[in-house]
């Protein structure tokens, strides 16, 4: 069947069951919280959609596409000028802070989008049988919000009730979820005439509704097939290891900027003064070179069938941690791929999986946690333990011997004589010190008592309230 014949059949079938929605309204539905022109929300409460379009002025030049922010108050005019009928426009389901549509600048996911090529009437009928069917059945899929006839197939849109905040660990989990659902969606001779499954990143841009597909000469048309969805609903259809867990909330610091400058001077100099906003990288290479990366590479023999792709993805993360060059990483990935593909599983491992794993080679993953790696790969990582195998009595003997030796050779110690007997708990020590030294700051208290700043912060507000009837709130003091 010719592509355009399949396209016409899809339009007829979708139009007979669902309402068509024009491109301007389609993007207003997905991105209802875009900024208005002339306004700038410095708290990033209004991230914007960013789209790419072909401009007639660039024909014959090296410039292929221009980038533009989707602003709420100008969108209708912008849509008619830059998108409608344009032979090449692209937009993802993400919204971004700033003006760039890079994954590291993505702030929230408004829609999870899939590209399904090789779809005609027969394939669409099979999809209708699977969409919205119970999650426990084989190859069923959640009911999408929109189906878009693209020309070569379908774009499947799941628009969220509330945008998903794209913290670093959530980006990786959403990638795993999309990977899993793509495998469910794309089945050769059932839902697609194409043999090769096409896996894509969560930042993938798609031809926009109302624009023209220059390859086939047809317009992209959208039909609303369902309602907005929740992440919990999509999770029901995914393998448990690929589900997104947003239970761990983001906890912003409660320190004022002045307190942060005093408590964390190195951080303040790097982030506030020098404006180096990227996360500081662990100094792994300086301590052990590629040892951690090579160690993870040797864990390939522990991988189970459903975790093979995630093992490769975490190998890329360890490469980021250890500054492993990308060419070495790529060679190692293909070597381990040959080993992992022999692990039995219903879903065969392909070279496309290697290419998808390489997509996350990015400095943002320097500090990805052990717990998250364990979750993705189901490989237990033993933590280093201090005084492993040493009893408390033996540990105290070693500590006292060390302190005695330090005192003998004149090395400085925080508390040479240890905590005085009968001196009470740390809270009582801090309270007594503040009572006698009310003008002392957090750092001074911690250094004098040999107690961490974290412990002082834990009791500081409570003690001030008890002693002086003052509740300390940020830079202000409230008299009770």
Cβ–Cβ under 8 Å, residues 250 and 165: yes
Same domain, 229 and 346: no
CA-CA-CA-CA torsion for 460, 463, 465, 467, nearest 10 degrees? -140
Same domain, 40 and 123: yes
Mean pLDDT, the chain, as a whole number? Answer: 82
pLDDT (mean) for 141-150: 97
Q: Is the pLDDT of residue 255 over 70?
A: no
Same domain, 111 and 218: yes
- By DSSP bridging, strand 206-207 and strand 476-479 are unpaired
Same domain, 182 and 300: no
- Count of domains forming the chain: 3
105 by Cβ neighbours in 10 Å (0-12 / 13-18 / 19+) ranks as middle
Q: Is the pLDDT of residue 430 over 70?
A: yes
Question: How far are the Cα atoms of 298, 339, 414, 453, 465 from residue 449, in angstroms, in the given order?
Answer: 46, 56, 8, 10, 21
Same domain, 149 and 15: yes
Same domain, 354 and 421: no
Residue 269 is predicted with a pLDDT of 76
Same domain, 208 and 288: no
Q: Is the pLDDT of residue 365 over 60?
A: yes
Residue 256 within a domain = no
Residue 276 within a domain = no
Q: Is the pLDDT of residue 453 over 50?
A: yes
Residue 267 within a domain = no
Residue 141 is predicted with a pLDDT of 96
> In terms of residue numbers, what domain contains 343?
282-377
Cβ–Cβ under 8 Å, residues 209 and 155: no
Distance CA 474, CA 385 (A): 37
- pLDDT tens for 258-274 read 776 777 677 677 777 77
Residue 162 within a domain = yes
Which helix (H) or strand (E) segment holds residue 465: the answer is helix 453-468
Pick the more confident residue, 254 or 185.
Answer: 185
- Mean pLDDT check: name the lowest of 71-75, 444-448, 473-477: 473-477
Residue 388 within a domain = no
**Where among 185, 215, 242 does a domain terminate?**
242
pLDDT (mean) for 412-424: 54
Residue 443 within a domain = yes
Q: Which of 171, 105, 172 is nearest to 313 (CA)?
A: 172
Most confident of 158-172, 190-204, 224-238, 376-390: 224-238
Pick the more confident residue, 303 or 366.
Answer: 303
- pLDDT tens for 173-231 read 898 899 899 989 999 999 999 887 877 889 889 999 999 998 889 999 999 999 999 99
Cβ–Cβ under 8 Å, residues 115 and 198: yes
Residue 274 within a domain = no
Which helix (H) or strand (E) segment holds residue 213: the answer is strand 212-213
- Mean pLDDT check: name the lowest of 55-59, 84-88, 256-260: 256-260
Q: Is the pLDDT of residue 406 over 70?
A: no
At 228, which CATH number? 3.90.920
- Confidence band for 474, pLDDT divided at 50, 70 and 90: very low
Residue 254 within a domain = no
**Where among 377, 406, 426 does a domain terminate?**
377
Same domain, 438 and 352: no
Q: Is the pLDDT of residue 158 over 60?
A: yes
**Where among 361, 377, 393 does a domain terminate?**
377
For residue 371, list its beta bridge partners.
none
Distance CA 369, CA 170 (A): 12
Same domain, 352 and 455: no
At 420, which CATH number? 1.10.10
- Give the residue carrying structure tokens 């507000």: 461
% the chain with pLDDT above 90: 39
- Give the residue carrying structure tokens 């740390």: 426
Same domain, 338 and 464: no
Edge to edge, the sheet with strand 66-69 lists: 66-69, 50-53, 89-91, 206-207
Same domain, 234 and 293: no
pTM for the full model? 0.62
- Confidence band for 60, pLDDT divided at 50, 70 and 90: confident
Cβ–Cβ under 8 Å, residues 368 and 169: yes
Same domain, 179 and 122: yes
Q: Which of 188, 204, 51, 240 is nearest to 113 (CA)?
A: 204
% the chain with pLDDT above 70: 81
pLDDT (mean) for 123-144: 94
Cβ–Cβ under 8 Å, residues 378 and 307: yes
CA atoms within 13 A on the CB side of 175: 23
């Amino acid at each position: 069947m010719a592509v355009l014949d399949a396209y016409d059949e899809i339009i007829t079938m979708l139009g007979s069951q669902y309402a068509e929605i024009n491109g301007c309204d389609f993007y207003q539905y997905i991105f209802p919280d875009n900024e208005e022109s002339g306004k700038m929300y410095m708290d990033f409460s209004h991230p914007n959609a960013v789209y790419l379009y072909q401009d007639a002025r660039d024909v014959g030049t090296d410039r292929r596409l221009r980038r533009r922010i989707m602003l709420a108050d100008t969108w209708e005019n912008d849509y008619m000028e830059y998108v409608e009928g344009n032979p090449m426009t692209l937009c993802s389901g993400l919204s971004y802070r700033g003006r760039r549509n890079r994954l590291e600048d993505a702030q929230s996911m408004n829609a999870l989008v899939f590209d399904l090529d090789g779809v005609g009437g027969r394939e669409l009928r099979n999809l209708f049988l699977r969409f919205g069917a119970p999650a426990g059945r084989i190859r069923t899929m959640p009911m999408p919000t929109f189906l878009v006839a693209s020309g070569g197939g379908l774009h499947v849109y799941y628009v969220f009730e509330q945008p998903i905040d794209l913290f670093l660990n959530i980006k990786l989990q959403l990638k795993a979820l999309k990977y899993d659902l793509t495998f469910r969606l794309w089945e050769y001779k059932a839902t697609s005439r194409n043999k090769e499954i096409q896996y894509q990143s969560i930042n993938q841009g798609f031809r926009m509704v109302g624009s023209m597909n220059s390859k086939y000469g047809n317009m992209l048309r959208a039909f609303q097939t369902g309602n907005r969805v929740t992440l919990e609903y999509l999770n029901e259809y995914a393998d448990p290891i690929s589900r997104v867990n947003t239970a761990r909330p983001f906890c912003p610091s409660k320190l004022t900027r002045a307190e942060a400058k005093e408590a964390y001077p190195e951080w303040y100099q790097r982030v506030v003064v020098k404006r180096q906003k990227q996360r500081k990288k662990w100094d792994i290479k300086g301590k052990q070179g590629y040892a951690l990366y090579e160690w993870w590479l040797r864990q390939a023999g522990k991988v189970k069938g459903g975790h093979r792709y995630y093992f490769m993805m975490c190998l890329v993360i360890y490469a980021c941690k250890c500054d492993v060059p990308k060419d070495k990483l790529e060679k190692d990935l293909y070597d381990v791929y040959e080993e992992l593909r022999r692990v039995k599983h219903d879903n065969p491992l392909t070279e496309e999986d290697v290419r998808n794993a390489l997509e996350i080679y990015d400095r943002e993953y320097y500090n990805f946690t052990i717990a998250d790696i364990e979750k993705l790969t189901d490989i237990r990582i033993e933590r280093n333990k201090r005084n492993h195998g040493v009893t408390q009595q033996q540990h105290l003997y070693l500590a006292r011997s060390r302190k005695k030796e330090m005192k003998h050779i004149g090395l400085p110690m925080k508390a040479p004589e240890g905590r005085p007997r009968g001196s009470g708990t740390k809270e009582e020590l801090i309270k007594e010190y503040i009572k006698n030294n009310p003008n002392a700051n957090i750092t001074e208290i911690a250094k004098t008592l040999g107690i961490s700043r974290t412990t002082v912060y834990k009791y500081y507000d409570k003690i001030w309230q008890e002693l002086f009837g003052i509740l300390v709130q940020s830079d202000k003091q409230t008299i009770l």
